[in-house]
Structure 1
Amino acid sequence: MARIEDVATHAGVSVGTVSNVLNRPGAVAATTRDRVLAAITALDYRPNEAARSLAAGRSRTLGLIVPDVTNPFFADLARGAEQIADQRDVVVMLYNSGESTEREQRYFGRLETQRVQGVLVSPVHEVGTAVDDLVRRGTPVVLLDRGSGKHGLCCVSVDDHTGGDLAARHLIGCGYRSLAYVGGPLSVPQTAARLAGAREVTQGAGATLEVIETRAVTVAEGRAAGTAIGVRRAGQRPEAVFCANDLLALGVLQAVTRQGLRVPDDLAIVGYDDIDYAAAAAVPLTSVRQPRAELGRVAAGLLFEEIDSPEQHRHRQVVFQPELVVRQSCGVSR
């Protein structure tokens, strides 16, 4: 395997010049840089990443912490962040907090010891002091799918209150007067905001909104909620259900159809996120779409802005607007 000294000899330059080409190419004249790059290609040289990180004081990695890697929403978000990092020849290390605040805090410490360039995080609950400590010690942090509140960090999110409004307004416009909201825990800001948006619309329209709180936003929790709804008699169950995400909606759909209910004739369903599985469901789901990959791309872009120019950087809060995608699971009018 070729060494950096071999590249220097082949190009007729010093080892320091080769190092500059690899780490600070703008500091090297174009003709010299081209000669070094040609030598790297000819010798099939592979830089020692550990040595590069040691010299720079930072690794060529970003940390990304999400609550649930099995949720397609976070997979798409990670894909967007990776697209931006790849343009910078930076690797994204994905960590799954598993909805555990303790594990999330442990990962913050691990990423700091690994000298990552920065951290993207979708917090389990409220942003804690662990994030503040990380930033104070020099590691930039951007919040995903969450506002920054008093912490004043860069953040990228979606207006979930408006998302809940869109879902409830559509169902009421279709003629449904008895609605239920399936989601939880309600201590999670996104879940609570979607409920608040739906509640305002239903109260203003004189409709009813039952709240069925779940322990998580998973297909299994959706099945449990759907089973509980499906055993009720007609007139005692809601006419339509708005779920906090598509996984819950898919679970409700599976449960009620197994119990013999027809969607949307006996029960209309609206999900949230518009993951790929929503359109592919047995009854394609109406869903409130979030720009999932774009959230990741914008967040990574903000993080690199701060990494490149920490003194000039100004924290920004980017809020996207959701979009309702209407499919067969709720009908169009009654």
Structure 2
Amino acid sequence: MATVTIRDVAALAGVSPATVSRVLNADPRVGAPLRERVHVAVEKLGYRPNSQARSLRTRATRVLGLIITDIQNPFFTALARGVEDAASERDYSVVLANSDESLDKEQRYLEVAAAERMAGVILAPSSTAHSRIGTLTERGIPVVAIDRRLRSAEVDSVSVNNQKAAKDAVGHLISAGCRRIAMITGPSGASTATGRLSGYRSALREAGIEPDPALEIRGDYRIEGGRAAVRAVLALPERPDGLFVGNNLMMVGALNALADTGVRFPADILLAGFDEMSWAGFAPPITLVEQPSYEIGRRATELLLRRVAGEVFPAQRIVLPARLRIRGSTHRVA
């Protein structure tokens, strides 16, 4: 006779294996209806938990993993604070890991999270299409994606509407008089880069301007990538009169390159970007799309903890609004 497993119980009860585990360990966070369903399934199947495995489950930590792509990016500083605040309110701790946009490094951290039996993981995927979280989901560890979406798994996500936000920023450059606008976009594997590039093109087309592939420069969301991209833009036979930069670190590199070549903003070129940069103290201040970083982290954690508590519901895709902050870099100098 085949051995009855925790997955068999979960399938009969219509819950996740993680929920079955919590019920068997008398976790008070699981509601009465779910507990009843699990106990009925246990009795029907005659399931008897392995004592060694049960001992391991009782030692499972109240720890959440937070895996981000670039610890140097201030966007993730506020986001991490939102995660930590929401977790602390529920007596959970947070362990932070930095993948450096590397799929291999990201996978190692996912394996560590599984081995340490973390309660759940919040992940900023290195790749929308290629990040793999099976090492967690197969063990019943819930995952919430932040900033970027995951195509490889149907999981909860919290992000902003990158396409609309970029469209608003480029539309503002157009309304300020720009007709030849270059964009420094992000890595091809990131859904944020795809959305922002789509918004850029949409704003141009609505204004009757056909996008020029020569003005779309691929960057890497890093400072050096922004510096190299602006150098490429400035080397074009016809310089642009507007520049939209796809994230804050590339903006730092872009500003360095502009300064090195003597190109001034807004006198010579109007400038807009994505992600807040008040920490950088540039003058004049730069027109930027401001993301609700802290709120992204908090909402993702609240969603994750609902999964940790055993709630079962369809995958949620939460899209928060971003705000365009108009500043001096897009004010045309007479």
- Fold agreement, TM-score > 0.5: yes
Q: Distance in 2 between matches of 1:281 and 1:136?
A: 47
**TM-score, length basis structure 2:** 0.78
Post-superposition offset of 1:330: 1.2
- The residue correspondences of 1:2-81 to structure 2 (distance < 5 A) are 56-81=58-83
- The residue correspondences of 1:1-334 to structure 2 (distance < 5 A) are 56-126=58-128, 128=130, 130-149=132-151, 151-207=153-209, 209=211, 210-230=214-234, 236-277=238-279, 280-310=281-311, 312-331=312-331
Instruction: Specify whether residues 237 and 152 from structure 1 end up closer, same or farther in structure 2 by C-alpha distance, changes over 3 A only.
Output: same
Q: Distance in 2 between matches of 1:226 and 1:289?
A: 22
Aligned length: 283
User: In the alignment, which residue of structure 2 is the partner of 1:34?
Assistant: none
Q: Distance in 1 between matches of 2:152 and 2:27?
A: 39
Q: CA RMSD in A?
A: 2.5
The answer for unaligned runs of 5 or more in structure 1 is 1-22, 28-52
Post-superposition offset of 1:314: 4.1
The answer for unaligned runs of 5 or more in structure 2 is 1-24, 30-54
- What is the CA deviation profile of residues 51-104 of structure 1, one whole-angstrom value per residue up to 9, with x for unaligned ones? xx9573311211111111111111221111011111122211111111111111
Instruction: Specify whether residues 333 and 201 from structure 1 end up closer, same or farther in structure 2 by C-alpha distance, changes over 3 A only.
Output: farther
- What is the CA deviation profile of residues 33-62 of structure 1, one whole-angstrom value per residue up to 9, with x for unaligned ones? xxxxxxxxxxxxxxxxxxxx9573311211
**TM-score, length basis structure 1:** 0.78
Contact 1:146–1:157 (Cα < 8 Å) also in 2: yes
- What is the CA deviation profile of residues 285-306 of structure 1, one whole-angstrom value per residue up to 9, with x for unaligned ones? 1101110111000000000011
Contact 1:59–1:115 (Cα < 8 Å) also in 2: yes
Comparing 71-80 with 312-321, greater Cα deviation is found at: 312-321
Post-superposition offset of 1:196: 0.7
User: In the alignment, which residue of structure 2 is the partner of 1:42?
Assistant: none
Q: Distance in 2 between matches of 1:25 and 1:130?
A: 29
Post-superposition offset of 1:112: 0.6
Q: Distance in 2 between matches of 1:122 and 1:213?
A: 23
Instruction: Specify whether residues 258 and 207 from structure 1 end up closer, same or farther in structure 2 by C-alpha distance, changes over 3 A only.
Output: same
Q: Distance in 1 between matches of 2:131 and 2:242?
A: 40
Instruction: Specify whether residues 333 and 160 from structure 1 end up closer, same or farther in structure 2 by C-alpha distance, changes over 3 A only.
Output: farther
Q: Distance in 2 between matches of 1:332 and 1:298?
A: 38
Q: Distance in 2 between matches of 1:111 and 1:199?
A: 39
Q: Distance in 2 between matches of 1:25 and 1:151?
A: 27
Contact 1:227–1:255 (Cα < 8 Å) also in 2: yes
User: In the alignment, which residue of structure 1 is the partner of 2:47?
Assistant: none
Instruction: Specify whether residues 232 and 313 from structure 1 end up closer, same or farther in structure 2 by C-alpha distance, changes over 3 A only.
Output: closer
**Paired letter, 1:192:** T
User: In the alignment, which residue of structure 2 is the partner of 1:49?
Assistant: none
Post-superposition offset of 1:313: 4.2
Post-superposition offset of 1:167: 1.1
**Paired letter, 1:297:** R
Contact 2:219–2:250 (Cα < 8 Å) also in 1: no
Instruction: Specify whether residues 167 and 333 from structure 1 end up closer, same or farther in structure 2 by C-alpha distance, changes over 3 A only.
Output: farther
Higher Cα Rg, which structure: 1
Q: Secondary structure at the match of 2:263?
A: coil
**Paired letter, 1:80:** G
User: In the alignment, which residue of structure 2 is the partner of 1:43?
Assistant: none
Q: Distance in 1 between matches of 2:242 and 2:158?
A: 31
- What is the CA deviation profile of residues 116-148 of structure 1, one whole-angstrom value per residue up to 9, with x for unaligned ones? 110000101125573134113210110111234
**Paired letter, 2:295:** E
Q: Secondary structure at the match of 2:133?
A: helix
Q: Secondary structure at the match of 2:194?
A: helix
Q: Secondary structure at the match of 2:91?
A: coil
Comparing 115-124 with 87-96, greater Cα deviation is found at: 87-96
Contact 2:122–2:146 (Cα < 8 Å) also in 1: yes
Post-superposition offset of 1:275: 3.6
Post-superposition offset of 1:160: 0.6
Contact 1:174–1:333 (Cα < 8 Å) also in 2: no
Q: Secondary structure at the match of 1:164?
A: helix
Post-superposition offset of 1:240: 0.6
Q: Secondary structure at the match of 1:130?
A: coil
Q: Distance in 2 between matches of 1:201 and 1:55?
A: 53
